[in-house]
Amino acid sequence: MTEISAAAVKALRDKTDLPMMLCKKALIEAGGDEEKAKDILKREGLKVKEKRADNPTEEGRIFTGITADGGEAAMVEVVCESPPVATGQDMARFGEKLVKQFLHGAGATTPDELLAQKDPDGSGKTLAELFDEMINKIREKIVVTRIARMRGPVGAYVHHDYKTGVLFQASGEKKMAPVLKDVAMHIAALGPVVCYPDELDPALVEKERERLRETAKKSGKPDNIVDKIVEGQLKTFYNDAGVLTFQPFAKEQSKTVSQVLAEQGLKAAHFIRWAIGRRQ
């Protein structure tokens, strides 16, 4: 058997960032040839992928990034098997690279397209190669599941547990208004489903309108007053149904989200809210 020095093992470990024992085993199998050992380690990484392909991925982390001028934001979701991997440094570094390339690179419409691009930090490797190296090191199933990009004015927010992320888009001129991030935070916390009432199911709204009308009519008030009562009560319904612009703003509940945005010359346009383990 070829004698493998500690220095050779350390050199391979420094180049691959893989555990010492794996590096030593690969060098022994390769007869001390470092390049062959690297190929062996890559093959072992592919075996890990195949072996764990059916494992559940109920943990993960969401990453967001925004350009310096607030003109565009990106969000990426990466799922895995365990909490320590989701919150670990390897995942954090890799997710930051994904968002950086997605935001400033050639663009992509799928995770695979993004992974095929080069590392934005200049290693010369593709993101897919870095991804495989990470899986080989961590040895659990990891998947880049979703990517999204949105033009500004836009706010981005990730909850402190990294499991809920939001991109919020508004119309208006103030691309750097702090309220954009605040509304994104509101969306993460309160989970609205649409921006405006006309995005709800029309049949659901009409059913509620008729119910409120019948109740109001029993008061004996004239039709014009009944109509005003119904429209006022519908605001409460819209809030309960998850209409963002009708919800009391989380940081200033005396005002609605719509009112807070209007004070900054902004209007809600669109949002994306992701939660690990849920397709929202």
CATH code of the domain in which 33 resides: 1.10.8.10
Q: Residues in the chain with pLDDT < 50? A: 280
- Same domain? For 24 and 122 the reply is no
Q: Is residue 1 part of a domain?
A: no
- Same domain? For 103 and 239 the reply is no
Q: What pLDDT, on the 0 to 100 scale, is given for residue 93? A: 97
Q: Is residue 268 part of a domain?
A: yes
Q: What pLDDT, on the 0 to 100 scale, is given for residue 1? A: 54
Q: What pLDDT, on the 0 to 100 scale, is given for residue 155? A: 96
Q: What pLDDT, on the 0 to 100 scale, is given for residue 48? A: 72
DSSP character string of 58-93? -EEEEEEEE-TTSSEEEEEEEEES-HHHHTSHHHHH
CATH number at residue 164: 3.30.479.20
- Same domain? For 145 and 271 the reply is yes
- Same domain? For 118 and 27 the reply is no
pLDDT digits (tens, 9 = 90+) for 211-233: 998 888 887 877 788 888 988 89
Q: Is residue 280 part of a domain?
A: no
Q: What pLDDT, on the 0 to 100 scale, is given for residue 164? A: 98
Using a pLDDT cut of 70, give the percent of the chain over it.
Answer: 97
**In the chain, how many domains are there?**
3
Q: What pLDDT, on the 0 to 100 scale, is given for residue 44? A: 77
> Which is nearest to 12 in space by CA: 2, 22, 113, 46?
22
Question: Would you give the end-to-end CA distance of the chain in angstroms?
Answer: 56
Domain span holding position 28: 6-50
Q: What pLDDT, on the 0 to 100 scale, is given for residue 14? A: 83
Q: Is residue 250 part of a domain?
A: yes
Q: What pLDDT, on the 0 to 100 scale, is given for residue 23? A: 82
**Amino acid identity for residue 270 in this structure:** H
- Same domain? For 270 and 141 the reply is yes
Q: What pLDDT, on the 0 to 100 scale, is given for residue 43? A: 80
- Same domain? For 36 and 131 the reply is no
